[in-house]
Structure 1
């Protein structure tokens, strides 16, 4: 039933969500429903305001643990560093390599570790540059060698993240085998997390009957490339592939297995309903924060979609346009505390978004549940529902909080409200067991009394029968 509704909504209907920039969410039935704004735009930050001249096609930025903002001004081959008040700290345009100054060429991605080491995907120089906190060169990763790599491969890194063990993961141009993993010394070890091959059944059937010449002109069945990556504090890589598939967002463990939970009404894919002319969301950046909350950027509509760890859509904001809070060519998103930063490549500016009361309440509800504070989660989800009656998944959050508090009957009611069949069944079984446990002694006593009565009744009936026989 749900799949049928999705197909109809995708191919035929021009829904409000496809044409509006106002906040919305999706119901269990795939309908776009109104939602209060979770974020609102407050300011723009550009190069001229910072005193560094116009930014030229910035492509990436990163907020460090100490809330420093490292922005990659790609067209100017430099890194602009800001503090949390958006004041200029420094610009990084070169580094010393064995006594000579080296510069960057079309750098496309960067990452800053907890120790403030900087990793730069120096794309046109075909290397990843690792600088320490004082901007001293630590190492350069280039020209990876392995039997797993084609001898004609040209290393052009586009993005980079680093885990707590100092393993480096690189998203490289033209690589369909997943992310490239490098050890602490900078040597290539393996590929992880390759996307599944997307096969069109009609095209596959056509290839079966096509001639060799016709097949040579057709597209190969190859996995899609990733479009972005981020890593959380536990070392799990979150990634997007932007191809509109049901697994357009992934959470990869150390073996490259996708362990993302998809327990929401729909898989995390951006917009569920859209017009055929525009097509599905193209996810080009991902940002993961605490409590398994993650956000993705849709390049087609300029929208930011945020999900909780179970895959429920929390809120949507942004859009393409000329007003504050809308973008021309958004390319990257980051969080600064609970604020959102969106980088626009064409306009060369950062839009800053702050939370509304609704956004803060929903964020804290999810965080409270994840850290096991059921009382706070229950109260905060209740507040969120009062502000947005259309937020169906909040009832599931309330139900889960009640489930942990062992209030199974009330949990069942809330799971029924959210149409969460799996958790409703779980709550029902626990509630049934609770009833049986509470009334076990009474039930067993009743059974024993009934058994004794049946025995005496049987004896009594036998005596009556004997008297009747004797009288005959």
Structure 2
């Protein structure tokens, strides 16, 4: 009996410990989501404005598959009054639409019909329009009244049906003198606004969406993409004759691939064949509302949509459909990498994810070929798989819903209300930048500018950091203005008194500054200030009067390299955002030294061929002294940048430009003074020297490449001998 009791007690202890361990694991934040996320067929990421990749909790979870078991009423059964059905699965579906009651409409292209499912995915009906049969329908749209609009691609028309599926209108190619005769009218998608105006996406139409009034009359082209105009195009336009220009291949903008419309009436388009601005949010006037709205807009001169992982860089994303949820979040699908990217209403990235479609094409949540995407009222994503002929349903995860709720409040300007939610998001994922941005905006709203500045810096948001810094700078000046003015007055008085009394003090004491030897190191370093007043004569003195030496030149060169490194790494985050992620000075220093050495060699060789009088050491000395503006202006400008905001951006750029221009002029005067050229001759020699420098760089790259090939060849021979 004692043994039985002992075993029973031991069993109870073990059970209690197991229960405690299980409860502890389940209580850990995000433990359940992590366990489930490990079973997902895809991984979710976020990418900030610097391109840094962050793995996040899943934003969406697989919730089911629809459309794989569709049934349709048998024609013979209908005529006999029975309810028998036959299986007719989807065949190459092209489009998907969800109405306000969550009814699902599918453009079943291969079966020449429109299929309607209810909110649970059960078959409701099919629409084939017996009065005027559909042929390869590729797009479908349903308005609030229940009228159904179909892009009947095979018949080159737009069909309008009532809620019962009866034919209302058949809108063929619009007749208008403003529509070019060569325009090919192949509707593949369409949307309808509140006025009943129809916006048709036509296959390959680079002119934009075809806008029709409710009666099908042509209004114009809406929201076209613009042709990117390069410097080379400007050169051709300036140089080419009219005949030569007409023979050039026309440079056309990308054709819109798909479109959608939100509740507020904004029209969204996606384009495949362009590298930037693939997504546009157009108002009624056709103006894009996304440029400049992103938190990282200052880092992205040309905003690119459709996210890629680092190993996917060999092919650009090809966005083929777009949807907008109730919160204004924009979701697009990439037909190349099967990647789903989601942005908020301002174009800020929230999440993106993709799955391995090669090894797991039949898994729930995995899309082989994303043909279309839509949202329902529960903010679930419905993705139409054009290869597997079904719909994958993804529901927001707890983490995704939390981010959406917090971001919606932030987008509406309710920063304080969003703060607790963003704190929870940050607790779950400390590296998720939107949480930092949301908290920074909340801190700024509550006038906690110190915290806002720090959070904006951590998130890498220049605009918010600059505004917060401006507020902190203003507060600092207000607190220290009196002390600052007293110091200025005291310094002014001291300088005034010194100006009046310095001669008397020197005369009375008999003291004077020591005069350095003409050929001392100090004297040669002081020669820099001669170059400021008389640059040509100063460089002439370096050549003919020995005003420079190897020691002074190397000191100036080392100081210039150090100043250049300080400018790259010490400039304020406002003007050099890369300091936030760290700057590797080693390659920059090597490039600086390499270009400088290459310049010295190439200029000496070219000037030797063109009666230049300078020796190699003169070119070396002069090229070192010509770097003086980097030291004289670069260091103060870098220090000053720490007290400047984006409002002073033009001042900062002007000072940086002054460094470049002054340095360039000193090199011109150096070539002119050392080699005894005229100003025009000096410029000509500099151009030739730069060409020679370019050739030297190319030859070095070729030599390195051939050396690597030789090393690989020798290594392969060695391996072959060892194996045999």
- TM over 0.5, shorter chain: yes
Query: Contact (CA 8 Å) 1:252, 1:259: kept in 2 or not?
Result: yes
Contact 2:108 2:114 in 1 (8 A): yes
Q: Does 1:66 align with 2:101?
A: yes
Distance, in Å, in 1 between the alignment partners of 2:318 and 2:461 is 29
Q: How is 1:444-459 mapped onto 2 (pairs within 5 angstroms)?
A: none
Equivalent in the alignment of 2:630? none
- Unaligned 5+ residue runs, structure 2? 1-40, 73-86, 487-724
Which of 224, 234, 243 is the aligned partner of 2:254? 224
Residue 496 of structure 2 corresponds to none
TM-score, normalised to structure 2, is 0.54
Is 2:66 the counterpart of 1:30? no
Alpha-carbon distance between aligned partners in 2 of 1:272 and 1:434, rounded to the nearest angstrom: 43
Match of 1:251 in 2: 281
Question: What secondary structure sits across from 2:395 in the alignment?
Answer: strand
Q: Which runs of 4+ in 1 moved over 6 A?
A: 200-215, 434-437
Give per-residue Cα distances to partners, 1:423-457, cap 9 Å, x unaligned: 122233345567889x8xx989x99xx9xxxxxxx
Q: How far does residue 301 in structure 1 lie from its aligned partner after superposition?
A: 0.9
The one of the two structures with greater contact order (alpha-carbon pairs below 8 A, sep at least 6) is 1
Query: In terms of Rg, which structure is larger?
Result: 2
Check the 8 A contact 1:69/1:81 in 2, yes or no.
yes
What CA distance in whole angstroms lies between the structure 1 residues aligned with 2:116 and 2:135?
Answer: 18
Query: TM-score with structure 1 length normalisation?
Result: 0.81
1:126 and 1:253 mapped to 2: Cα distance? Answer: 28
* Residue 387 (1) aligns with residue 423 (2): no
Maintained 8 Å contact 1:39/1:355 = yes
C-alpha change, 1:62 and 1:247, in structure 2 (3 Å) is same
> Which of 138, 151, 158 is the matching residue for 1:121?
151
Checking the alignment, whether the CA contact within 8 Å between 2:46 and 2:351 is kept in structure 1 is yes
Q: Give, in whole Å, the separation in 1 of the partners of 2:312 and 2:333.
A: 20
The structure with the largest helix share of the pair is: 2
Alignment CA distance shift 1:184-1:211 (3 Å): closer
Counterparts of 2:389 and 2:453, CA distance in 1: 50
RMSD (Å) for aligned C-alpha atoms: 3.2
Q: Distance in 2 between matches of 1:67 and 1:110?
A: 15
Q: Which runs of 5+ in 1 are unaligned?
A: 1-19, 96-100, 451-472
Conserved 8 A contact 2:330-2:343: yes
CA contact (8 A) 1:244 1:269 kept: no
Structure-1 separation of matches of 2:175 and 2:425: 53
After superposition, give the CA deviation of every residue in 1:177-213 in whole Å (9 maximum; x if it has no partner).
1111112332111112111114576788789779979
Separation in structure 1 between the aligned mates of residue 336 and residue 42 of structure 2, nearest angstrom:
13
Q: Distance in 2 between matches of 1:182 and 1:221?
A: 27
Paired residues of 1:28 and 1:392 also in contact (CA < 8 A): no
In structure 2, the residue matched to 1:301 is: 337
Alpha-carbon shift at residue 375 of structure 1 (Å): 3.5
Give 1:418 shift: 0.8
Verify the 8 A CA contact 1:241 1:284 in the aligned structure 2.
yes
Pairwise mapping of residues 76-115 of structure 1 onto structure 2 (< 5 A)?
Answer: 76-94=111-129, 101-115=131-145
2:357 is the alignment partner of 1:327? no
Aligned twin of 1:359: 400
Compute the displacement of 1:401 (Å).
2.8
Partner Cα distance (2:445, 2:159) in 1? 47
Task: State the secondary structure of the residue aligned to 1:398.
Answer: helix
1:402 CA displacement: 3.0
* Counterpart contact for 2:306–2:317, Cα < 8 Å: yes
1:103-129 CA-partner distances (Å, limit 9, x unpaired):
111111111112222111111111111
Greater strand proportion? 1
Number of residues of Structure 1 aligned to a counterpart in Structure 2: 421
Corresponding residue number in structure 2 for 1:349: 390
